Structure 1
Amino acid sequence: MKDLKLDHIVHYVQQLDNFKFPGHIFTLHQGGKHDRLGTYNRLAYLNNAYIELLDVYKPETLQKIIKSEEGRVSFPSKIVQDHYQQGLKTIAFQTQDISKLKENLEAQNIEVVGPIEMDRENTKGEKTTWKLLYIADPDYRVKPPFFIQWDESVKERETKIAPLRQEAFTIKGIEINSTERNHTAEKWKQWFGMEVVSHSETETTLKLKNDDVVYRIYDGAYSGYKAVILKDNKTASPYTLIIRGLKYKVEAD
């Protein structure tokens, strides 16, 4: 699991067609439709990862698929589980060998679903394809991140999205609440090979071995993702935006 790194975060936004970030802080690019899930997206590419804004265009399709083994762990399933409350639902870790990753997890008796072939098609008819792998362990307090492997090579993909990146912004961390923080932290260490950066009476901070993004897990009255921390190298003062159920905490360079 040494190659894992943050790929993107999934922020559910209602009426996405009419949504713009306040002050146009992030530029949104056309994503596409996930026909098998009844969802569609817009994408904001930052220096080290991207924000996927996700909405549902066929609720009946999503409602049906989440009753399946794949659907109950799929990335938009939390939308239904949260009764369509807006906010950050889950995050994706990129891997370069999803089949090997599956073998490693199953060797630890960790139940997984996938790899699942996925695609989306934009308005020009251009198709992007990838594979997903999900942790299927039902004993968790926070919906676990899932794994993604793009069918393009790293070089091909970076060549395509490099012109779209807003390099002034870097995702530095994710803040998470858990009603059972120690339980969540131990699971994430096992599932993702995470290292402990710090630990106190109220907070545990973890990171992947191959990535600088930190995951701060706090004691909370509820379990779920609560904030994304970013660095803006074009501002002199920090600022915070609360956007559609998610807090964006932006630090100055």
Structure 2
Amino acid sequence: MQNLKLDHLIHYVQQLDNFKYPGHLFTLNQGGQHERLGTFNKLAYINNAYIELLDVYKPDVLQKIVKTDEGRVSFPSKIVQDQYSQGMKTMAFGTTDIEQLKIELEAKGVDVIGPVHMHRENVKGDKTSWKLLYIADPDYRVKPPFFIQWNEHEDVREKKIAPIRQNEFRIKSIDINSTERAHTVRKWQRWFDMELVSESDKTTTLKLKNDDILFKISDGNYSGYKTVTLQDSKTTSPYTLIIRGLSYRFEAD
């Protein structure tokens, strides 16, 4: 299915303007504003993805848009649904042909919204644009990842990003809780054409066919994204930081 790969995570952080990772662990780069959603972001680029820190600067705009068909599935909608609790809300899978992806999903009977044309503008007035595709199935326990296609050619985009990537960090896995694990696993395998890596009494591990990041879906008394595990090539022992509602676990490479 369209060579899907993890593109980025979305971590909601309140008062983002004043936020820094402990010990400046990740370097934060200025993102921009999503005017139609009332949100803004900062970005931490690492080896195989990036972390988007997201905050809301116009709550009234976000509150209004989440009442629309597009808005209720949009990437910041979970912030409102979770009553503004901090933490990881969702993630994006990258594709190089979002229109074809839409055709493939609809052929499987999956209801989608989009592609939605998006852009953000930084303080210098530079604009970055992309397209988003959302799964509109209302019967999910964990907010599903959405799809993104950048309007810039991959080689051009990567050349711009390469100097600010912190290549010592690499996402290895993402832990997800689900109150109905079998339901979530079944949906994710259908939606994202994921492969089964392993299964135990409490956890099912999946992966995308063209990516090596593991998605560990476990039984839980709540549904949501719990932990991001990263490899750190500059450490000799593992460590864990709980930051604004999300656990970051680092393993020695």
Distance 1:204 1:109 in 2: 24
Aligned to 1:43: 43
Counterpart CA distance in 1 for 2:65 and 2:137 is 18
Q: Cα RMSD (Å) of the superposition?
A: 0.4
1:83 and 2:91 matched? no
User: How much has 1:124 moved relative to structure 2?
Assistant: 0.3
CA distance in 1, matches of 2:170, 2:57: 30
The DSSP-based 3-state class of the residue aligned with 1:138 is coil
Paired residue type of 1:163: P
**Which residue pairs with 2:193 in the alignment?**
193
What SS is found at the alignment partner of 1:90?
strand
**Distance in 1 (alpha carbons) for counterparts of 2:85 and 2:237:** 31
- Deviation at 1:22? 0.2
CA–CA distance in 1 between the matches of 2:229 and 2:131? 27
Alpha-carbon shift at residue 2 of structure 1 (Å): 4.4
Give the distance between the partners of 1:56 and 1:109, measured in 2 at CA.
34
Distance in 1, Cα, partners of 2:68 & 2:2: 31
SS of residue in 2 equivalent to 1:71 = helix
Alpha-carbon shift at residue 64 of structure 1 (Å): 0.3
Question: Structure 2: which amino acid aligns with 1:145?
Answer: P
Q: Where has structure 1 moved over 4 Å in runs of 4 or more?
A: none
Equivalent pair of 1:2/1:210 in contact (CA under 8 Å)? no
User: Counterpart amino acid of 1:68?
Assistant: T
Shift of 1:39: 0.1
Q: Determine helix, strand or coil for the equivalent of 2:206.
A: strand
Corresponding residue of 1:145: 145
Matched letter for residue 96 of structure 1: T
Where 2:160 maps in the other structure, the secondary structure is: helix
Q: Which structure 2 residues correspond to residues 38-117 of structure 1 after superposition, within 5 A?
A: 38-117=38-117
CA distance in 2, matches of 1:38, 1:127: 16
- 1:112-150 CA deviation, whole Å, 9 max, x = no partner? 000000000000000000000000001110000000000
The superposition leaves residues 198-253 of structure 1 with CA deviations (integer Å, 9 ceiling, x where unpaired) of 00110000000000000000000000000101000000000000000000000011
Equivalent residue number for residue 135 of structure 2: 135
- Output the amino acid matched with 1:56: V
Paired residues for 1:3-22 under 5 Å: 3-22=3-22
Q: Distance in 1 between matches of 2:2 and 2:40?
A: 31
Counterpart residue type for residue 28 of structure 1: L
How high is the sequence identity, in percent, across the aligned residues?
Answer: 70
AA aligned opposite 1:92: A
Tell me which residue corresponds to 1:158.
Answer: 158
Query: 2: distance between equivalents of 1:164 and 1:66?
Result: 33
CA distance, structure 2, for counterparts of residue 86 and residue 7 of structure 1: 21
